[in-house]
Amino acid sequence: MISCRQVSKGSACRYYLKDVVVGDMHRPPGVALETAQDLAGVPQGQWLGRALPWVGLVADEAVTESEMMNLFGEGRHPHAEKVIADRLAEGDSPAKAERAARLGYRVQKFTAIDLVFRPPGSIQILWALADPHTRRVIETLHLQVLREVVTQEVEEKLLIVRVGKDSVRQLARPGVMAARFRHYTSRKDGPLLHDHVLISVKVKRTDGGWGTLHTRTLLEHVVACSERYNQRILEEVCTRLGLATEPRFPTAGQRPVMEIAGIPEELINWAASRNQAIMERLGTLEELWVQRTGGPVSVKVRRRLMAMAADETRPAKDRARPLSQWLAKWRAAAIALVGRAVVDNLLRLARAAARVIRGRTVAVLDVAAGALEITATVSEYYPGGFRRRHLLAEARRHLTRVFRGRPVPAGADEALVDAAMGAHCVDSSPPRALDLPPQVVDYRRLMPRWAPVPDTETARGGVEAAWIYYRARAEAVRRTSDGRRETASVRRSRVGRAAPPAGEGQDLRERQAGPESGRNRKL
């Protein structure tokens, strides 16, 4: 999954330099960055992004303290000192030399966005307890998918800048300047392979000048990016290691979480002890909210309470250790929990479970029924209206559930969203003035065709978080059985095509394989 946080100039960047970039182990005063990272048992940060050549940086090279403080602390050129010295040598005034070291206008508040990429819990278990070859494969695939999401999602689609006195929003040139920092442990000292990717808000406008990223656009799409990462890392790991996935329900009433089949749930829960502490605190905060307000816990409120729970249960990390010592500690703890036989044969057990799953099911794409299901689910979570990005995130969850670790055809998520918007959604956006351009599709407020458009007061009511997923699935199944029995399934050989017109399309489901049954089984 991907979580995010905005980084403000000055003090927030200094906090990252003292804690985050050294594995959250708190860097002692006066210790060089490279030395502190070595003592903490984490690798040096590396540069990432297509915009690096514009400021003389090179991808995969080490991030220095001065570069980081200039770019992420002040929003200046990473080599600001050299730029100023060169300009002064050429005869520029100090003020002009300082302006040359700035990348466009001064940053007012936020200088970066921190995206944290971490694989699902079952992959964490394989990474921590399997053999060294499997560990290297997982690390390689994690980095590969991380780069893919940054390049294909963030750099290509989500870089928006404001231009002109009217602050017109425009797409920026593709490319970001980012620094990646690898961590290995959670704050409960459990195995947690993850990377912090600090993305500078400085991007290039289409006219070649420097602009400041409109961070709201990126933050709004983090969930859709997260689902892309989850789907792709599970797909790549399963394909490379011969595995499959199965649904797991860690929170009653919420969507299932897909995990590697055959990994014992006890081990996943053990590695997710930090998450369990957060969820326990979240339950308390939700009860307090209901008592104080007398209203239900909406999706938006639940997100805020989740952030509060995470901050309130955030312990300090244990002392620094080399990764080899952590691996030995985790292995001993896992053996005490489930036994040596399970730990020694973890990959073999997962492959045996995958053979059973792949022998019983094959993925079949049915866009029409899938579009109906994702619309029903999203409308239950967002009764006051939703956006295209919500459908996209749900489409990617849907694909992950159905393909069970098999490769998902390119464009299947967009095909689902286009079919959902065309067949099951209506535009309920407020009227716009005649002199304004039409609203961008991504920001139109949508409602399902079967629901009345709510007034403003009704839209503020929210929805209870419990059992939403099951209500949505029941609604989708009912409507599918009522009006789409004639829908023909299209096998994976046809998945990559564009979405067909409503009524002629296809959903995503799994068909029973094998000689004993020819019936369809809905997941």
> Does the residue 306 lie in any domain?
no
> Does the residue 89 lie in any domain?
yes
Q: Which residues pair with 110 in a beta bridge?
A: 8
Please indicate, yes or no, whether residues 330 and 376 belong to a single structural domain of this protein.
no
* Tens of pLDDT, residues 224-281: 999 999 999 999 999 999 999 999 887 666 678 899 999 999 999 887 766 666 666 7
Domain termination residue (choose one: 340, 374, 399) = 340
Count how many domains the chain has.
Answer: 2
E strands of 401-460, at which residues? 425-427, 446-448
Rounded-to-integer distance, Cα 56 and Cα 54, Å: 6
Please indicate, yes or no, whether residues 436 and 400 belong to a single structural domain of this protein.
yes
> Does the residue 215 lie in any domain?
yes
> Does the residue 29 lie in any domain?
yes
> Does the residue 291 lie in any domain?
no
Instruction: Note the pTM of the prediction, 2 decimals.
Output: 0.81
Please indicate, yes or no, whether residues 121 and 17 belong to a single structural domain of this protein.
yes
Rounded-to-integer distance, Cα 98 and Cα 70, Å: 12
Rounded-to-integer distance, Cα 236 and Cα 234, Å: 6
Helix (H, G, I), strand (E, B) or coil at 362: strand
Q: Which residue has the tokens 């797409």?
A: 171
E strands of 175-314, at which residues? 178-185, 191-200, 202-204, 210-212, 245-248, 257-260
Pull the structure tokens for residue 438. Answer: 């039409």
Between strands 361-366 and 520-521, the pairing is unpaired
408, containing H or E segment: none
Please indicate, yes or no, whether residues 57 and 159 belong to a single structural domain of this protein.
yes
Assess whether pLDDT exceeds 60 at residue 453.
no
Pull the structure tokens for residue 24. Answer: 């959250």
* Tens of pLDDT, residues 476-486: 655 555 544 33
Please indicate, yes or no, whether residues 60 and 96 belong to a single structural domain of this protein.
yes
* Tens of pLDDT, residues 207-221: 888 988 988 889 999
E strands of 428-489, at which residues? 446-448
Please indicate, yes or no, whether residues 453 and 503 belong to a single structural domain of this protein.
yes
Torsion region of 49: left, alpha or beta (phi above 0 gives left; psi -120 to 50 gives alpha): left
Between strands 257-260 and 425-427, the pairing is unpaired
The mean-pLDDT minimum among 45-59, 90-104, 275-289, 464-478 falls in 464-478
> Does the residue 280 lie in any domain?
no
State phi, psi for 200 to the nearest 5 degrees.
-70, 145
Mean pLDDT of the chain: 81
Pull the structure tokens for residue 314. Answer: 């955030």
> Does the residue 163 lie in any domain?
yes
Assess whether pLDDT exceeds 50 at residue 467.
no
> Which residue range forms the structural domain that includes residue 371?
357-521
Q: Which residue has the tokens 């689910």?
A: 377
Rounded-to-integer distance, Cα 218 and Cα 159, Å: 7
Give the pLDDT band of residue 131 (cuts 50, 70, 90).
Answer: very high
Rounded-to-integer distance, Cα 352 and Cα 361, Å: 15
Assess whether pLDDT exceeds 80 at residue 455.
no
Please indicate, yes or no, whether residues 372 and 508 belong to a single structural domain of this protein.
yes
Rounded-to-integer distance, Cα 442 and Cα 342, Å: 47
Please indicate, yes or no, whether residues 320 and 449 belong to a single structural domain of this protein.
no
Answer yes or no: are the C-beta atoms of 198 and 7 closer than 8 Å. yes
Q: How far is CA 145 from CA 225, 227, 234, in A?
A: 11, 12, 10
Please indicate, yes or no, whether residues 439 and 327 belong to a single structural domain of this protein.
no
Expressed in angstroms, the distance from the first to the final Cα of the chain is 23
Rounded-to-integer distance, Cα 90 and Cα 85, Å: 9
Which of 188, 426, 232, 433 minimizes the C-alpha distance to 330?
A: 188
Please indicate, yes or no, whether residues 375 and 516 belong to a single structural domain of this protein.
yes
Please indicate, yes or no, whether residues 79 and 124 belong to a single structural domain of this protein.
yes
> Does the residue 296 lie in any domain?
no
Please indicate, yes or no, whether residues 328 and 463 belong to a single structural domain of this protein.
no
